[in-house]
Structure formats: structure tokens, C-alpha cells
Amino acid sequence: MYGIILAGGSGSRLWPLSRELYPKQLLNLNFDKSLLQSTFERLQKCTSDIVSITNTKHISNVKIQLSELDKNTTVLAEPVAKNTAPAIVLATKYIMQKTNSDPVIIVVPSDHLIKDNEKFISTVKKGEKLAQQGYIVTFGIEPNYPETGYGYINTSDKLSDGYKVKEFVEKPDLETAKKYLEEGTYFWNSGIFMFKASVLSEETKKHAPEIAKISELFDFTNKTEIPFIDFDKMPSISIDYAIMEKSDKIALVKLESDWNDLGSWQSIYDISKKDENGNVFVGHVLDKNSKNSFVYSSSKLVATIGLEDTVIVETEDAILACKKDRTQDVKQIYETLKQKHDNTHLIHKTVYRPWGFYTVIAQGEGFLTKIIHVNKGQKLSVQSHNYRSEHWVVLSGTAKVVLEGKDLILSPGHSVDIPLKAIHSLQNPYEEDLKIIEVQKGDPLIEEDIIRYEDMYGRV
């Protein structure tokens, strides 16, 4: 069996903790691993052959997180977001070409929460049997209340390990959702699928011929790249619309484990352990008499008094305060910020890089100050800047600085000037993490003002 992890995603619904460039699957949400890492580990219990596919925007973060679990795992990058159908079809083609075989493949989203791995695995085994029989298998969750935020799948005849699927239906209104719940044949759509590679190929040709045709442009025998020029021709469409709703080979297996899509702060609250007043407090929170509220502090003190059914989420540069039953509207805030080109939708003040991370701590006309954290054994690319000079002061650890071909070793308190256009590299070949202050001077001060000469992460 092979696994495909879908690791794209936009990050709008858990704003301000998630951002466009740091979406939900990368967050750890107070568990010890991120949702992506947990998904990978869960899938590892079913197969050791896993391919992840993400957007180029996230590839560096996805690779860093997954390499902690498997140094050699494959991550494909879509050059542009085109929803799930093109991603799944291409990842399937990648597996078929690499292995020259026709395996059963399981496709899983990377941003859902499943705690009971054993029951998940037993569901996968049932799905595998049906997939071997030529079905495209979807995993359905038995609804226990009339949720209006999910798509539903209606089933008909019982099969040995599941059901035949009658139809996929859109997010219903409350009345309709109640009816579905009563009828007992409806399931929530988990977004988890299993199929034999050849079955998906055939069904793609039949129901999404355009995608099938464009996918012929790609050849993964000797490479993993997905060229923009070809991929951009793909229609932007979900696997549900493109194939699942049209094919008559769809079966459903009831997902036996727990499942939560963590699609809003309300759902994060729902799965969290509450105190005796129904509150969930994460981080530095001081409360008097609040009830049934969710308060998340990432750095600063959050003091709360007498709140009820309220969500407060504090991050370095943005704070959300929201009635708990309105957490779906967070997406609107995110979209408004995006329209306004307000960067708080896009990135965190702390930005993760393959070598560590940096935080912009001060910014003004002609200057920008960062704290740069270089993980042990890592180095930034050999680079130069056309529009800015830099001044570095070591705070902790030891820095190896290569400046115009000369090596400098700097201890805490030492500093160095990097002139305009000078070729330089910041390196930490030591056993301790390195922290420096960088003061940039110039105009414009933009990340894009960088010429890379060498890079251990392949970014030249």
C-alpha cells in the first residue's frame, strides 16, 4: 500500500494562529507534534511508502517537519494551488511511475485530528479490501448531530466491509441536516480516500478527461518537479466534484476512530480538556470567573474577567476576540485582511526557514531589526544584497561569518558590519543554537533583495 498526504491548505480558519504561509497542518496546537507530523506518523503504521504533496509556499516547512520523522520522505510541490483533484491524480501518477506497479493508495488530509490510531488502521484494512475489488473508497463519519458545516455522503446497498455510495451532497441547512441524521444512511465526508492506482486513472480519464490529458505532460521517472507551465493548465477542482460525484465505483467505509476536522476555534475548544468552569486556557492566562471560554496566549499575559462562551487568541502581532458560536466568521476577518494587504493574514512575526527562524522586532523608515535564530549545524546561504547593509551582533552561541571569502568567528557581544553588495554567509557549525541581532539599513528593505550563490537547502 502507498500513502498520499495532502499538505496544502490556506490557514484562514484558525487565524491568527494559522496564516497563509503557516497553515493549520503546520501548527502543533498544544500536542507534541504538528497535525502534519501526526498524520504522517499515523500513516506510517499502515505503510512506509508515503508521498506528500503541498504548495511551493509551504514546501520548506513541510520538508523540515517531515524530515524529523523520515529523512528521505518525498514531498511534491504544486507550483500553484489547484484544489485536490490535480494533486491526487499527479501524486498517483508519481507513485505508478516510480514503482512501475499498481498499488492500493490511501489519500489523507494533513490537518485533521484522529487520536485512535488502532481503529483508524482497522478501517484502513476494510478499505483496502474494497479498493482491491476496484472501488474508490471514501471514509465516512457517522454523524451524531446535525452539523451544517460538512458535506454529506448518502449510502445505499451494504457491501462486505462498507456501503455502496448513492450520492455526495453539499453542506445542508439545519432542517436538511436533521433529516439526514434521522434517515441513518448519511455520513460526513472525511476527505480520506483509498483506491487502486489504475482505478483512479481510469475514472479520471472517464470523468475528468481534461485532468487526465494534462497529466500526460508530466514525467516523474527521473524527477520530482511539477513544472508551473504545465500544472497551471489544470482546472482548479476538488476530487469530489471531478470524480467522486460522477463515478459509479464509489464505496464508503465507516471511519471507526474519532475524527475532528479542527475547522474552527469552536472545534478546537470542543476537543480540548476543560476546567470545572468549562474553560480551556493555554499559555499565560489569568482569569476571574469566566465560563465556557477558550483563551490561547502565545506570548503575552491575557487577563480575562467574566467572559462567557468567548474565544480569545493572542499572537505576536494580532489578537482575536470572538463569540464562540461565531468562530466560522474568522474566515471573513482573514479575507478582509487579505484584501487590505494587511500582512497579519499572511505571515507570523516569526518566520520559519530551513536553517531556523527569525522574528522582526522593530521596523522603521530605512531600518529593520530582526532576531535571527540559527539551529545547530545549519547555515544560511552564501548571499549578497544590492540595497541593504547589515550589522550583526551575536547574542548567544557562536557565529561563523564568511565575509568576502574571509572567516570570522564571533562570540556573544561581538559584532560585524556586512557592507552593501558584500558576499557573506552566516553559519552555525557548532553544537549550540546561535542567536544574533541583525540591523538592516537601506531602501527598499525587502526579503527579495537577495542574491544566493550557494545554499545547502537547494534555494540557489
Contact stretch for its own copies (CB under 8 A) within 66-74, 129-137, 142-150, 320-328: 320-328
Q: Give the count of beta carbons closer than 10 Å to the beta carbon of residue 285.
A: 19
Per CB under 8 A, the list member of 233, 441, 452, 459 interacting with its own copies is: 441
Q: Which of 14, 53, 177, 337 binds its own copies (CB under 8 A)?
A: 337
Q: Which is nearer to its own copies, 230 or 316 (CB)?
A: 316
* 307 scored as a contact of its own copies (CB under 8 A): yes
> Nearest distance from residue 348's CB to its own copies, in Å?
12
Does 322 interact with its own copies (rule: CB under 8 A)? yes
Asked if residue 302 binds its own copies (CB under 8 A), the reply is yes
Among 80, 181, 346, 371, contact with its own copies (rule: CB under 8 A): 371
Nearer to its own copies, 241 or 430 (CB): 430
Query: Could you tell me if 410 and 416 are in contact, meaning their C-beta atoms sit under 8 angstroms apart?
Result: yes
Our finding on whether 318 is near its own copies (CB under 8 A) is yes
* CA trace torsion 277, 281, 284, 286 (10° rounding): -20
Please state, in angstroms and rounded to a whole number, the distance separating the CA atoms of residues 73 and 63.
Answer: 8
* Phi, psi angle pair for 50, to nearest 5°: -125, 135
Interface with its own copies includes 308 (CB under 8 A)?
yes
Q: What is the DSSP string of 374-438?
A: E-TTEEPPEEE-SSEEEEEEEEES-EEEEETTEEEEE-TT-EEEE-TT--EEEEE-SSS-EEEEE
Minimum CB distance to its own copies smaller for 270 or for 309: 309
197-207 helix and 84-99 helix, angle to the nearest 10 degrees: 140
Note whether 317 binds its own copies by CB under 8 A.
yes
Q: Does 69 bind its own copies (CB under 8 A)?
A: no
Binding of its own copies by 314 (CB under 8 A):
yes
- Note the residue count of the chain: 460
Q: How far is CA 41 from the centre of its chain?
A: 15
Q: 125, 213, 223, 300: which one contacts its own copies (CB under 8 A)?
A: 300
Site string for its own copies, 401-440 (x = CB under 8 A): -----------xx-x-x-----------------x-x-x-
Distance between CA 128 and CA 113 in Å, rounded? 21
Q: Which of residues 234-293 bind its own copies (CB under 8 A)?
A: 286, 288-289
How far is the C-alpha of 291 from the C-alpha of 309, rounded, in Å? 7
Residue 217 or 361: which CB sits closer to its own copies?
A: 361
Q: Does 327 bind its own copies (CB under 8 A)?
A: yes
Report if residue 386 touches its own copies, rule: CB under 8 A.
no
Residue 356 — left, alpha, or beta (φ > 0 → left; ψ -120 to 50 → alpha)? left
The b/e string for 403-432 (b: 16+ C-beta within 10 A; e otherwise) is beeeeeebeeeeebebeeeebbbbbbeeee
Q: Which of 362, 356, 365, 429 is nearest to 399 (CA)?
A: 429
Q: Is 366 in the site for its own copies (CB under 8 A)?
A: yes
Binding status of residue 49 toward its own copies by CB under 8 A: no
Report the residue number, 1 or 393, with the smaller CB distance to its own copies. 393
- List of residues contacting its own copies (CB under 8 A): 15-16, 286, 288-289, 295, 297, 300-308, 310, 312, 314, 316-323, 325-327, 329-330, 332-333, 336-337, 342, 344, 361-362, 364-367, 369, 371, 389, 391, 393, 395-396, 412-413, 415, 417, 435, 437, 439, 441
